[in-house]
Structures are given as structure tokens and as C-alpha cells.
Amino acid sequence: METLVAMLARSGLGLFSAVTSPRLSILIFHRVHARADSIFPQEPDAVRYERLMRFVARCFRVMTLGEAVTCLAEGMLPSRSLVITFDDGYADNAEVALPILQRYGLTASFFISTGFLNGGRMWNDSVIECLRACQQSEVDLESFGLGRFSLAGTAERRLAIETLLPRIKYLGLAEREEAIVRLQGVCGVKELPMNLMMRTEQVRQLHQAGMEIGAHTVNHPILATLKPSDAEYEITEGRNQLQSIIDAPVDVFAYPNGKPGRDYYKSHASMIESLGFRGAVSTAPGVGRAGDDVFQLPRFTPWGDSLAIWASRLLVNQRNTVFETAAPGR
């Protein structure tokens, strides 16, 4: 099955690159669980991730973001170019994903928020882990303006989590922290895991393994909600901390959350450029092409349980972009 998928993808991509300029697909990952997550089974686990990487290694020319930016700038992007990125700095990136990447000779770019290294936790994981650990059969989220939620099974827990996350996402950092403390009280959960994110030695391990380390701020704020001086501090301090950990320059960046015009503005892209970064990625879907703004490159990750569906979505993303450009002004 996989050989057939690979064959179709290669011929599809070959045909595609014969009639268009080369396109750059940039995949975005967060976690790669050692085993499938019970509440979010659609998130990649080691078995599924290995299947995707085997396919990617066969069908694409995989490079780091820095290499891709150089190729774009020089108009030398090879056909079937692809960048694998990871955001946030989860420990499973080093523990689970790195050995798989190495098995297939792949390099990837890891965008790490330094404020959570060594025992920290991102607010969204605090929500998830709080509702995962809650021993009650239902939870009262009235104080978040949401009412009562059943926690009878994993689907119910997922619904409570997915309803609550958007309520907290755009709060300021202090308000987010207050919301998590309130949620812990409501759920009766005192302890939350402290091993979700990387330790500094794992960042170093990734760098020494030839992976690219990129900046992703210190505290993962929505840059659009910050004063420019605070945004600049988050960006430069995150980069400085990473540079001192790996003792090498860090010159690529990923915008937290990453939606252009909502999570960050053009002024932030200009700031990234003026701070000496070489390139940056958003979470807008699409593919990169020669002439694109390398400080706002789009990313797209297909979803789907089967490799065939995943691979076809990857191709459709590239093709849709061609249709868009083929019909300017519509």
C-alpha cells in the first residue's frame, strides 16, 4: 500500500513540478506521543509518525528551514522540497521523533519556547492534563462562562477541553495563569506533569544531531496582544537563551499561534527581519514559492489516519495553491 502511495505521489509531484515552479511544503508538528494519546488519538504517535517520515523520505527533498530560505532567495529551490517543523519544544520531540528522523536520514527544524524548558508547562497542556486527571464524573465550568460538562469518557473529556481552550487562548499571560489555578481548583487536581517539555540537554542533543533550532519566544504570547517593545523582548530573549544553550546562532523563527493578521502583524515580520533572522514561518496554510516573503512562509500539515489520505491532502494543498495563482484577481 505504501509503495503504491509513494509511487502515485512521486508521479503526481513529478507531473506537477513539470508544469509549475518548484513548491516548498512546510509541515508543522507539535507532539509525537510514544503511544497514541487516549484523549487525542488523532495526534501523531511513534508508529504513525514513522510511517509519515518513511513516505516523506522517499518522495521529497527534505531540508531545514534555513536551507529552504537560502534556496528560495537564490531561486534554486529543488522540486519536491519539504521542511519538517516542530513547535513549542516538547520532550517527546527528542525522545520519540528524533530517533525516527535519524533512521530515515531526515533533518527537521525545532522552534522552542524557552520559558517552558526544564519542568515548565504550556497553558493548553495544563488545561488538557487537568481535565485528563480530574476524578469527577462531571465538571462545573460556570466560572469560565461554560456550564457543566460530563467527564464520563474520553470523548466527553475532549469536548470539555476543546470548549475551554478557546476561552483561555487570548487572555493575557497573568490571566491565563489565574484561569489554570481556578481550573485546578474546580477539577480537584493539585499536581500537573512537569516532564512534558524538553530539558536544556535535549535541545543540545537535537542541535548536535544536526537538527535546526529556531526561536519561538520565551512565554509563547500572542505577539499581536503585546506592546512592540514587549514583543521584541520575547523574540530576542528567546533567541538569546537558545543560542547560549546550543552555543551557535539561531536565525529562524516561528510566530506563536501564527495566524497572520490575528496572532501577529506585518510589523512583527519586519521586526523579525530587522533583528537579523533569516526567515520565519506562520501557520497560514499554503506552500512556499520563489518571491514569497521569507519572513511569513506558510505551513500546512495534512491530517488523516491513513497514509493515502494524508499524502493526497499534501498534494491537494500544493495543487490548490496553483489554482489560486492561476486565477489572479478572483
Q: Which residue has the cell 495566524?
A: 259
Q: 10 Å Cβ neighbour count for 268? A: 23
Specify the stretch interacting with Zn ion by CB under 5 A; choose among 17-25, 143-151, 202-210, 254-262.
254-262
CA angle 317, 320, 321 (to 5 degrees): 90
Q: Is 107 exposed, middle or buried (0-12, 13-18, 19+ CB in 10 A)?
A: middle
CB of 91 to Zn ion, least distance (A): 15
Number of residues that bind Zn ion (CB under 5 A): 3
Q: Which is nearer to Zn ion, 9 or 206 (CB)?
A: 206
Q: What are the cell numbers at 219? A: 512565554
Specify the stretch interacting with Zn ion by CB under 5 A; choose among 87-95, 280-288, 293-301, 322-330.
87-95
Q: Which is nearer to Zn ion, 221 or 256 (CB)?
A: 256
- Our finding on whether 129 is near Zn ion (CB under 5 A) is no
CB of 136 to Zn ion, least distance (A): 30
Q: Which is nearer to Zn ion, 9 or 222 (CB)?
A: 222
- Our finding on whether 125 is near Zn ion (CB under 5 A) is no
Question: Going by DSSP bridges, is the β-strand pair 212-215/138-140 parallel, antiparallel, or unpaired?
Answer: unpaired
Sole binder of Zn ion in the list 23, 46, 82, 87 (CB under 5 A): 87
Sole binder of Zn ion in the list 50, 88, 125, 234 (CB under 5 A): 88
Q: What are the cell numbers at 128? A: 488538557
Query: 279, 214 in Cβ contact below 8 A?
Result: no
Q: Which is nearer to Zn ion, 256 or 288 (CB)?
A: 256
